[in-house]
Amino acid sequence: MIKLRDSLPFVCLIFFLCFLHCSNNYQVNQSPGKSAVQEGEKTFHWPDGARAAVCLTYDDGIDGHLDIAASDLEEVNLRGSFYAQGSSHSLAERMEDWRALVDRGHELGNHSLFHPCIRTMPDEDVHEWLWPEYALENYTVRQIAAELKIANTLLQAVDGKPERTYAYTCNDHLAGGESFVDEIRPLFTAARTGGDNIVADMQTLDIHLVPSWGVVDVSGEAMIDFVKKAEGAGTMAVFMFHGVGGGHNLNVSRESHRKLIAYLDAHRDRLWTGTFAQVMDHVRSERHRLGF
């Protein structure tokens, strides 16, 4: 019979070998390479190593979008998002041109039928250009949702697309004093609002309230600085244009527009410029992957 005193060295050896094995495993799991990969897998990524995304969006469905803005974009093979209200004269009169715009890869987005907005501001300032019939303060949530649904049907008849994004008219989210954001979520893959800022954080972003900068009479350099801010944050910069080189009472010069576009073209390696629908599709899929 083996006595405990005789077997002690053997038992110690077994414990020592176990300790070596466990400590080796610990070192493998804690190696810097493995940690970096795990960290990377948990981080929001833009396609092809881009550091930020940029969306160029154009509101109110005017001829200048077809003739000037889209042409500037296509010169460097970029695409934009064009938000036309159902009551747009250009959409009615040049429907084939709008259809062709989508066929060339641009996005036609929902901007309501009648472009309703809050007409009387809290400070009593009144948007005289808006018919009182289309004052959002006199709408109901159900009424604006029904209008936006019909606008989706109208736009689908133009371009055949079953999915749509929305641009809030005048950045307003209240109908009859009540938020309609939740009511319209099922209608749109994403929605753009104002706020004049970049997206602060991709994880906490509400994809139906994506901020944008409404640019009016600003320089190309100022717009480039806005893009650099998004690049620094690793998020996205959304521009809200109206007229480019005229055609609206809210305009940016064609020179400034082209300057921004030239910058985006020259930095494709780190800036992904896509339509709002494309970029937001990626955002939704990354957030799903990361479990946000």
Residues in contact with Zn ion by the rule CB under 5 A: 59-60, 169
Closest CA to 248 of 209, 214, 197: 214
CB of 126 to Zn ion, least distance (A): 17
CB of 291 to Zn ion, least distance (A): 36
CB of 201 to Zn ion, least distance (A): 27
Q: What is the DSSP letter of 8?
A: H
CB of 169 to Zn ion, least distance (A): 5
Q: What are phi and psi of 56, to 5 degrees?
A: -105, 115
Residue 135 CB partners (closer than 8 Å, separation 6+): 116, 117, 118, 119, 120
CB of 242 to Zn ion, least distance (A): 7
Residue number, 111 or 267, with CB nearest to Zn ion:
111
Torsion of CA 77, 47, 98, 153, to 10 degrees: 170
Residue number, 59 or 72, with CB nearest to Zn ion:
59
> How far apart are alpha carbons 172 and 176 in whole angstroms?
11
Q: What are phi and psi of 49, to 5 degrees?
A: 75, 15
Q: Give the residue nearest to Zn ion (CB).
A: 59
Residue number, 59 or 231, with CB nearest to Zn ion:
59
* Whether the Cβ atoms of residue 227 and residue 52 lie closer than 8 Å to each other: yes
How many CB atoms sit inside 10 A of residue 217's CB? 10
Residue number, 88 or 278, with CB nearest to Zn ion:
88
Residue number, 169 or 278, with CB nearest to Zn ion:
169
